[in-house]
Amino acid sequence: MDPSEVKKDLYPLIEPYDTGFLKVSDVHTLYYEQSGNPQGQPVAFLHGGPGAGTSPANRRFFDPEFYRIVLFDQRGSGRSTPHACLEQNTTWDLVADIEKLREHLDIPEWQLFGGSWGTTLALAYSQKHPDKVTGMVLRGVFLLRKKELDWFYEGGAAAIFPDAWERFRDFIPEEERNCFIAAYSKRLTSSDPTVQMEAAKRWTTWEMMTAHLIQNNDDINLGEDDKFSLAFARIENHYFMNKGYLPSDSYLLDNVDKIRHIKAFIVQGRYDVCCPMMSAWDLHNAWPEAELKVVPDSGHSAYEVGISAELRSSTDKLRDMLRK
């Protein structure tokens, strides 16, 4: 993919006007930043993974003259500390963190923008605090159900990416291949840092090799980035081992009625291997008021041409609705 193709569909890169750290527990401190219009419509960017952290490009989905853009790194991710920490790191801790950050920034209510795991977190937060959310944009829906985890981590997606799967699979002895998530958990929490790092790189590379319709070397190379891959793999695996800390497999779908009043846009790549379209479809069926846009020539990444164009279009639509 030519980066210039995506560039023309997004807003120009801007710098934050405010950065800071917020202590949210006796263990964790979050990095956050604000950019765009300080008096604008607040929007919180919820990154994926969990464990991926934010990047400057995340600011580019929003009209900087209209939006007050809030990015933050979730517990253990990016510039938040301690790095790759699993202690006190659950979905409900993160939901509480979002609320603490909203209060810290003196924001009465805000929009949410989330992709992949960010959709999981956006749904969990909005269902807990439906009066604090004015709109949502969700990309690559992930509901953290067993069938989704089985598809991606227990061999389903290997039918499409058998070459990428082999490196992920072969790190695990044959006798432990009945559950790759558990086998990787054992190694990602090993007392041997060398074992941890090799497991982290293989886990991360598997996801990055499947994240685009046409494989993207920049993403694949993140699998060799020690800092990124350690947080990404450890925190993802930790959440998946614990079923996202959700009360039931269908929890997020079962609680859609709490957020039915919120204007929402769902953007889904037709050929998303990481978060297959079945989840976006199930969410849309449970929540028909949420507009679903299926991008016919895209996979999972927010930075594929069709996906990025629809994400910007969705934030612009919410902007125009508020301007009326």
pLDDT digits (tens, 9 = 90+) for 253-295: 999 999 999 999 999 999 999 999 999 999 999 999 999 999 9
List 43's β-bridge partners, or say none: 69, 111
Which residue, among 175, 177, 172, 174, has the nearest Cα to 188 in the 3D structure?
Answer: 172
Mean pLDDT of 159-181: 97
Q: What confidence tier does 7 reach under pLDDT thresholds 50, 70, 90?
A: low
What pLDDT is stored for residue 16 in this prediction? 98
CA atoms within 13 A on the CB side of 103: 10
Mean pLDDT of 135-164: 97
Q: What confidence tier does 2 reach under pLDDT thresholds 50, 70, 90?
A: very low
Which residue, among 116, 128, 129, has the nearest Cα to 45 in the 3D structure?
Answer: 116
- pLDDT value at 5 more than 50: no
- pLDDT value at 248 more than 70: yes
Provide the H-helix boundaries in the chain: 3-7, 91-104, 117-128, 146-153, 162-170, 180-188, 193-209, 217-221, 226-241, 251-254, 277-286, 305-323
What pLDDT is stored for residue 220 in this prediction? 84
Please give the structure tokens belonging to residue 62: 């929003």
Mean pLDDT of 315-324: 92
What would the pLDDT profile of 106-148 be if each residue is shown by its tens digit?
Answer: 999 999 999 999 999 999 999 999 999 999 999 999 999 999 9
What would the pLDDT profile of 30-59 be if each residue is shown by its tens digit?
Answer: 999 999 999 999 999 999 999 999 999 999
Residue 24 φ then ψ, to 5°: -110, -10
> Are 79 and 31 contacting, i.e. CB atoms less than 8 angstroms apart?
yes
Mean pLDDT estimate for the chain: 96
What pLDDT is stored for residue 259 in this prediction? 98
What pLDDT is stored for residue 79 in this prediction? 98
Query: What residues are annotated to the active site?
Result: 116, 272, 300
List 72's β-bridge partners, or say none: 32
How many angstroms separate the first and last alpha carbons of the chain?
37
By mean pLDDT, which of 152-156, 191-195, 212-216 is the weakest? 212-216
